[in-house]
Amino acid sequence: MSGSDGTDTGMTTAVEPDAVDAGYLAQAIELAKQNVADGGGPFGAVIVRDGAVLATGQNRVTRDLDPTAHAEVSAIRAACQVVGDFSLAGATLYTSCEPCPLCLSASLWARLDRVVFAADRYDAARGGFDDLAFYELFATPRSEWSMAIDTARPENAAAPFDAWLEADARTDY
């Protein structure tokens, strides 16, 4: 949703899920609850295409010592292996919680058609997770971030892209 000045307010319009969405959301929520019982984080994800579950994922950040092992990213990685492609066009991601910026970006890169989530960034914040803080950080100028983001542009900075554009065997994405 946008504010009166056109900026993203971070709010989404909640709708009552239809029976199909409700079933897959229930599965994602159960994956999340089971992951908590197994010592992991409270996040689960299911990817569906043409009425079939392609893959599921659970948060493995602390278990695998991998800050990118979010439920959604894990499900995207697994689904891409199942279909043999980096594109999940035509698929829907069902997740127990609103995707954080990492997972939202991964969803965009995977070309998912749709994302449906249950809990939101405010629920995640209540649980002690940084989703809300990261969304707020991205809305502030980089000069105000606690982590420095600097550009160091050597003369050959664009060389990898020149090589890419010249490569006959590249796979565009």
Q: Which residue has the tokens 């893959």?
A: 55
Query: For the whole model, what pTM was predicted?
Result: 0.88
Q: How far is residue 168's CA from residue 20's CA, in Å, rounded to a whole number?
A: 43
Q: How far is residue 75's CA from residue 59's CA, in Å, rounded to a whole number?
A: 10
Closest CA to 102 of 114, 91, 110, 90: 110
pLDDT in tens, 47-84: 999 999 999 999 999 999 999 999 999 999 999 999 99
pLDDT in tens, 118-134: 999 999 999 999 999 99
Q: How far is residue 94's CA from residue 72's CA, in Å, rounded to a whole number?
A: 9
Cβ atoms 148, 141 nearer than 8 A: no
> 137 — phi, psi (to 5°)?
-60, -45
Average pLDDT, rounded, for the chain: 92
Is 155 annotated in the active site?
Answer: no
Query: How far are the Cα atoms of 4, 11, 61, 78, 96 from residue 122, in angstroms, in the given order?
Result: 21, 10, 20, 28, 13
Catalytic residue, chosen from 16, 72, 98, 136, is 72
Residue 55 token pair: 């893959």
